[in-house]
Amino acid sequence: MNILITGSSSGFGKLTTETLLREGYTVFATMIGVTTFSKQAIEELVLLAQETKGTLHIIELDVTAEASINNAINQIYKKVDHIDVLINNAGIGGTGWTEAFPESQFTKIFDVNVFGVQRMMRAVLPQMRKRKEGLIINLSSIQGRVVFPYSGIYTATKFAVEGLTESYHYELSPLGIDVVMVQPGGFKTNFESVQSGPHDQKRLESYGEMINAPDQIWGEPNEEKDFLPHPQPVPDAIVQLIEMTKGTRPLRTTVDPLLNALGTSAINEAALKAQQDLATHLDW
């Protein structure tokens, strides 16, 4: 089975790539900075691949650039004739006073987290539709359902991913393609360390003595958070989805041992019932 995953150099992406290799899959691990800042991650993945039954291909791919995506897809199709699974994992975040994020930051985060998902799906779907076969797994978050203060920009992107994924789920199911999402909670990865705070320093300073309030929720920069669980349950959930029979995969899979899906599961259940009632009423 041929699996394409974005954002494979760190966090959930790297761990998922490693897990898939151990399971024996052919993995097209894509990332930016293949010849620069991702070199160490690549070396580690290559060494691991040599010890597993899986097959690893490393490809440069920037989800914000259509030309980069097209080039990567063309490279993949020179090696295999189809992609079975797309995992949209690439993502960036930002915490702090939401007002202090200028439009340029908002645009960048949406470009990666939302528009990047759409670009990747458009790149693989023609081939999947032709085969009437395929699985797309989008990485959402519990923050696509519940709101934590001082993370408005990231939350907004994940709410968008939820709506986009659910629309595709309904549209493509009759065509033999499953589109689902995973909602991770908080885990000990490098994600927080690579997040950026607000760039509008003048607006930020206007909050005065409240300027550091976000730290009460998210902790101080570079603070070690040993209470966070190891992220292995996320790639395990992804593998489980891959191995399920087509048409039986749930739209949402929540992986949140830290909070036990508090709030998220209640919203998921209410939304599912609301959608089913709506579909029945409109005779979809």
The residues that are catalytic are 9, 140, 154, 158
Q: Strand, coil or helix: what is 37? A: coil
8 Å CB contact between 193 and 15: no
What's the chain's Rg over C-alpha atoms?
Answer: 19
| 170 vs 129: CA distance, rounded Å | 14
Residue count of the chain: 284
248: its two tokens:
């039986």
Beta strand pairing call for 85-88 and 134-139: parallel
184: burial class by Cβ within 10 Å (0-12, 13-18, 19+)?
buried
